[in-house]
Structure 1
């Protein structure tokens, strides 16, 4: 299989590996592909393809257009519905992804609620496929509102990972309620990369996140090894209760 494009490897989120020159691409899943990791694998000559699931119904993967996940609509039909009213929303608007099986007679799920917030695009893809594509924005249960603004962990990740000390993008949103006045973040940093006082790092993070999101926030810094102890090995819940 070496030398063929179909030879895949699946790295763990946040892990780093040296690319075998025979590999042409890799499939990535488990959490969103961060911009920093994508840039790193691009520098290796890798093409990364994100993969996700359609609940318990099927899987879905990007094509080379990297413009959303392709749903296999010959086996499953996808819709986006309002998380509160449970009514369908127009294509292109944010809603919860629900899936209906078309071929599974053993478990004929109808509008199975995945818990993922998504947008759906039914226009033909540049790759030639005409099945619907969808983009996953985050888990509906992870969404919080700060002064009326929706916040999802994916937005925080891209802002945290750009700093050398926090490039591992280890963080948690500390939630007391779905609607809060202040965005509370717990951010892990690499002690070996800290070249200035914690207060300086906290200020840099605060200024960048505030500039991007425009909401009040409070940041708690922790040694990333201590932060990792708050979850299963090598992964922490992105949203946690206070």
Structure 2
């Protein structure tokens, strides 16, 4: 005989995802227990519970999130209460240094799942048989641009485009693995695949999921454009730069 049922409702849930490298594949979850999360804005009663699958957001208010039901709970007893939306902002860090720190911000209170991307550091990025790209993001005067998001689309012949993503670190340095990029065939007409690079960045860093697009230095009469055309050679590790420069050079609007 069940005398009482304790009903607990989490406010929201965060799933931390390993987002670096190729897109369009199932993302691997990062163990939340290995991360440090610091909140800069949140309700005073909010508590974070870290588990391997993610981070649960628990609150004491409203009281209906935690209540005792006489006897066995039925379907109506398990319906979560209406909870007003509340803002959550903070920063997540990986003490092991495999993933770069990042800021985040979202509205919670609807028991929703928030999937937040984490990007690998130079330490955490490994180049396999497909090769990879490395380099720095800077301004025209050489000043590093930290926390810039690089989005690279590579189009192998007779195949669908493959999208890759990486984030530069606090010094503007990045490493991008070309995992899953197919190797060149023996009769390939060229020794590289055409690629297009776009970037997002902000003067103060910020949430990588909210960064605005920036211009990148290319060649020609209008040196800064929305994208940079590059050749990507599978199986090789190469430095990615703007033409005639030693870095990928950006310009804010």
TM-score normalised by structure 1 residue count: 0.35
Higher share of residues assigned helix = 1
Q: Which structure is higher in RCO with an 8 Å CA cutoff and minimum separation 6? A: 2
Higher share of residues assigned strand = 2
